[in-house]
Amino acid sequence: MDIEGNVPYTFREVYDDVFPVLLKVVFHIVRDMGAAEDLCQEAFLRYYNKRIPLPSVSESRYWLIRVAKNLSFNYRKRKGRESVAVDRIKLESKSVQSDSQEDLIREEDKIVIRDAVDSLPVKYRSVLVLKEYGELNYKEIAKILHISENNVKIRVHRARVLLEKKLSIGDFHVF
């Protein structure tokens, strides 16, 4: 790596590449768009202030997602279940404006599934959020979480089994 800190990409390139994924991942952990925006900003600030630049955009992506994910889980720990309530309040205010019953049902279905994902233990929730919302593959998830690809495979499957249970019992039958 160049000691002068010259890297073959710009901050803006990294930002444009990573931001959409980062925002989705963070939102689905904290369930509050305002907080998600702040946490993404914080992650990029930390990236910007890093003393040692990363060698590539993809390494930057893994670093940013890892940091943002940790910031988000810490935020959740502080906030407890409050953030989920915010998500629901937003749904309710949205439903007032919505003119279509169908839209409303779709939004409610989304919340049911988000709640189910949200209720998973952290180790399964992390892989699922990264895979389905962050659209990352096993190899990328393994790099972000510092676990093996095989471990990712095991966790994804376990998450699916748990989700199946959550979504087919209680008041909602999504399937």
Partner 1 sequence: MCFNEQILSAFVDGELSEEQGESIESHLLGCGACRSRVEFYGILTEKVKFSGVDTSTFIQESIWTRLGHATSTSSRLGFWHRRFFLAPSVMVSLSFMFIAVIGIGFFLLFQDNGSNAFYVSNADEPFPSENFPVNIPVDSIEQILAYFDIYDEPMEVVIQLPDSSSFTIQGEPLFLLKANYTVGY
Which of residues 62, 68, 138, 143 is near partner 1 by CB under 8 A? Answer: 138
Contact (Cβ atoms closer than 8 angstroms) between residue 118 and residue 10: no
Site for partner 1 in 16-45 (CB under 8 A): 16, 19-20, 23-24, 27-28, 33, 37, 40-41, 44-45
Q: Half-sphere exposure (CA, 13 Å, Cβ side) for 24?
A: 13
Is 76 one of the binding residues for partner 1 (CB under 8 A)?
no
Alpha-carbon distance values, 88 to 56, 107, 140 (Å): 39, 10, 31
Contact (Cβ atoms closer than 8 angstroms) between residue 32 and residue 83: yes
State CA 103 to chain mean position distance: 24
Handedness of CA 167, 34, 144, 74 (dihedral sign): negative
Please state the closest distance from residue 175 (CB atom) to partner 1, in A: 7
Is 144 one of the binding residues for partner 1 (CB under 8 A)?
no
List interacting residues with partner 1 (CB under 8 A).
3-7, 10-12, 15-16, 19-20, 23-24, 27-28, 33, 37, 40-41, 44-45, 48, 51-53, 78, 109-111, 113-114, 117, 128, 131-133, 137-138, 153-154, 156-157, 160-161, 163-164, 174-175
